[in-house]
């Protein structure tokens, strides 16, 4: 494994070198940002498909981004890829004292609480930061909401039961309906956001990833709608000429065929 990794690092250095690739030599941390996101999502798609050869390929593409950014930093004298690897090794050991030392954390939640406590202790002496610090603003909103709620939970800011979390959903739903009744666009947006945030809370309590749940629903919608389109196309008609009632029948047919 070490030889193949060293080969990748060497290839990247050559691509960035004097007689390397014009495109690679032109890149910087900012121009590469989009590719990190794209490759990460392609890894997720490969995981969802269950295609292991595809996953292997996509993980390699994602690893390339790590090596690429490390090469850029190395050229500036900031750090090397070895420094990045050493840093994460030290962090994993430091934040897993229940494995590498004598701490006692038996459940996943205890491990998470301990992780956050150690993380806060590491920052002692630095300017005071919120418990919520460290959750990237660029995260998808549902994922970011989940992360923020989990961080708040580590200091006891959380509902005690799922029922309490669900009561908040009911409350926010009624406030959303009231905003719609008043046709207040600004309030509707605010209350919809509150409703979605409260649903994320429930999802967290029942251990369902809301981002994945919504993604699966989107995939399901896409599959059923495509079926509907194809059935209409096979009948020699255009979507615009088909009634909503008939579309609903085709939609239900798509649902039945899934069973």
Q: What is the per-residue pLDDT for 126?
A: 67
pLDDT < 70 regions, the chain: 1, 125-128
Q: What is the per-residue pLDDT for 229?
A: 95
> Number of folded domains in the chain?
3
82 and 165 share one domain: no
Residue 237's alpha-carbon distances to 183, 190, 240, 241, 249, in angstroms, are: 38, 41, 8, 7, 16
Q: What is the per-residue pLDDT for 1?
A: 56
Q: What is the SS3 assignment for 139?
A: coil
What's the CATH code of the domain at 154? 1.10.287.1080
Contacts of 192 (CB under 8 A, 6+ apart): 176
User: Does a structural domain hold residue 113?
Assistant: no
Query: How does pLDDT run across 165-181, given as a tens digit for each residue?
Result: 999 999 999 999 999 99
Q: What is the SS3 assignment for 244?
A: helix
Query: How does pLDDT run across 147-157, given as a tens digit for each residue?
Result: 999 989 988 89
Q: What is the per-residue pLDDT for 125?
A: 66
Q: What is the SS3 assignment for 236?
A: coil
CB–CB of 203/143 below 8 Å? no
62 and 26 share one domain: yes
User: Does a structural domain hold residue 27?
Assistant: yes
Residue 170: give the domain boundaries.
Answer: 130-208
Residue 148's alpha-carbon distances to 43, 115, 171, 200, 259, in angstroms, are: 24, 15, 21, 11, 37
Last residue of a domain, one of 94, 118, 144: 94
CA distance 119 to 10: 34
168 and 241 share one domain: no
Whose tokens are 């708040």? That residue is: 152
User: Is the alpha carbon torsion for 113, 119, 122, 127 positive or negative?
Assistant: negative
Q: What is the per-residue pLDDT for 258?
A: 87
Q: What is the per-residue pLDDT for 128?
A: 65
């Amino acid at each position: 494994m070490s030889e193949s990794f060293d080969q990748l690092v060497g290839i990247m250095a050559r691509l960035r070198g004097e007689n390397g690739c014009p495109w690679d030599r032109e890149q910087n941390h900012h121009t590469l940002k989009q590719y990190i996101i794209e490759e990460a999502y392609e890894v997720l798609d490969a995981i969802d498909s269950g295609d292991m050869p595809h996953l292997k390929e996509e993980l390699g593409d994602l690893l390339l981004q790590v090596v690429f950014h490390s090469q850029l930093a190395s050229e500036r004298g900031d750090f090397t890829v070895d420094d990045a690897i050493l840093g994460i090794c030290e962090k994993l050991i430091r934040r897993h004292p229940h494995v590498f030392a004598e701490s006692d954390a038996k459940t996943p939640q205890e491990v998470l609480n301990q992780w956050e406590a150690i993380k806060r202790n590491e920052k002692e002496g630095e300017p005071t930061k919120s418990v919520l610090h460290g959750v990237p603003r660029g995260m998808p909103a549902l994922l970011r909401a989940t992360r923020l709620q989990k961080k708040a939970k580590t200091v006891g800011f959380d509902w005690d039961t799922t029922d309490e979390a669900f009561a908040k959903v009911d409350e926010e739903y009624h406030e959303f309906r009231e905003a719609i009744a008043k046709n207040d666009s600004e309030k509707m947006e605010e209350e919809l956001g509150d409703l979605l945030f409260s649903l994320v809370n429930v999802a967290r309590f029942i251990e369902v990833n809301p981002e994945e749940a919504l993604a699966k629903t989107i995939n399901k919608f896409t599959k059923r709608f495509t079926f509907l389109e194809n059935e209409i196309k096979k009948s020699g008609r255009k979507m615009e000429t088909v009634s909503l009632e008939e579309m609903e029948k085709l939609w239900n047919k798509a649902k039945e065929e899934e069973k």
